[in-house]
Amino acid sequence: MTTVQIGDRELEFGSDELVRLRDSSEHLNDPETLRKRLDEDGYLFIRGFHDEALVQAAREDVLTHLDDEGLLHPNEPAEEALVHPDWTADEFDMSGSSWTHYPNLETLINGDETMSFFQRLFDAKPFVLDRKRGRAKATGYFTGFHVDRIFMGRGTEDLYTAWRPIGDCPVEMGPLVLCPGSHDHDRLRETYGQLDVDVDRVDPFFSRNPYDVIDTIGGPLATADFRAGDALIFDTYMLHGSLTNRTDRFRISVDTRYQSIEDPVDPRWVGADPVGQYNLDDWGPEDLTPIAELREQWGL
């Protein structure tokens, strides 16, 4: 078994606490089965969802931009994606106006094959939220456990996140980790899942401790060694985070959201220059209610 890390906690990949994601690749063209699995598990893990050549082209776009921004190691080839020794932030955010640097990511997100898949899955014309999230996660960093609903909850509940690594992403590089079934945890949905980060001014992470999540919500957690072209699609009530990137390379990924065009849309996430959240960049830790206070009130 491989030892992985989430923050300062270690887990064994393949143990009772951290298992492999259920693979739905063989059902790619069977929307009825995929819908059942989304209901049961809260997610779909599909290998080869995207053409690997397109993912590689998108990766080259990203690395060219990172190199131009001076984020890559100056003495190593750009394609290695080694973090510059002077880079100290947790990630490089590729959201917002910088998306013009990534034409192949745009094709990956809303190209014909992707939109045809969601057309079949929804049995309705799909719509992808305009605000796209791209991330280059640096060495030593991870994302705490959260649900996407608290960031984009002013539209339909039938909204799904698609996360893709832009390049191979083994567990050592810090891919996503899910808490399968948490999308149907009633108490989690009706308390934490109803927060709106713009209104409630709360620390958005339910927990940064995987064992706390297992004890409170249930386990095991699940992840995978991802390859270029793989995709992870999940309910926006799904509790998830990431493993820690324990390599010296950027973990590059993109996450976008899909829904039926007929359903209501969160206005913060659409338009020519969508804001996503209004206030998070202006608030410091002292402005946010500690999640521990709310969890005590909720009994979670």
Which is it for strands 18-20 and 221-223: parallel, antiparallel or unpaired?
parallel
Return the bridge partners of 44, or none. Answer: 233
Instruction: Give the pLDDT band (50/70/90) at residue 61.
Output: very high
Cα angle for residues 289, 293, 297 (degrees, 5° grid): 125
Res 283 pLDDT > 80: no
Task: Give the DSSP per-residue string, 11-80.
Answer: EEETSSSEEEPPB-GGGTT-HHHHHHHHHHHSEEEETT-S-HHHHHHHHHHHHHHHHHTT-B-TTS-GGG
Name the least confident of 88-92, 177-181, 223-227, 249-253. Answer: 88-92
Query: CA-CA distance, 269 to 258, in Å (whole number)?
Result: 11
Query: CA-CA distance, 17 to 7, in Å (whole number)?
Result: 16
Instruction: Give the pLDDT band (50/70/90) at residue 99.
Output: confident
Of 203, 221, 191, 216, nearest to 21 by C-alpha is 221
Confidence (pLDDT) at 183 = 98
Of 217, 164, 146, nearest to 187 by C-alpha is 217
Looking at per-residue pLDDT, the higher value among 265 and 277 belongs to 265
Confidence (pLDDT) at 280 = 58
> Which tokens is 271 given?
């338009």
Instruction: Give the pLDDT band (50/70/90) at residue 274.
Output: confident
Asked if the bond preceding 85 is cis, omega within 30° of 0, the reply is no
Confidence (pLDDT) at 282 = 65
Return the bridge partners of 292, or none. Answer: none
Q: What is the dihedral of CA 291, 279, 139, 76, to 10 degrees?
A: 170
The answer for 64, left when phi > 0, alpha when psi is -120 to 50, beta otherwise, is alpha
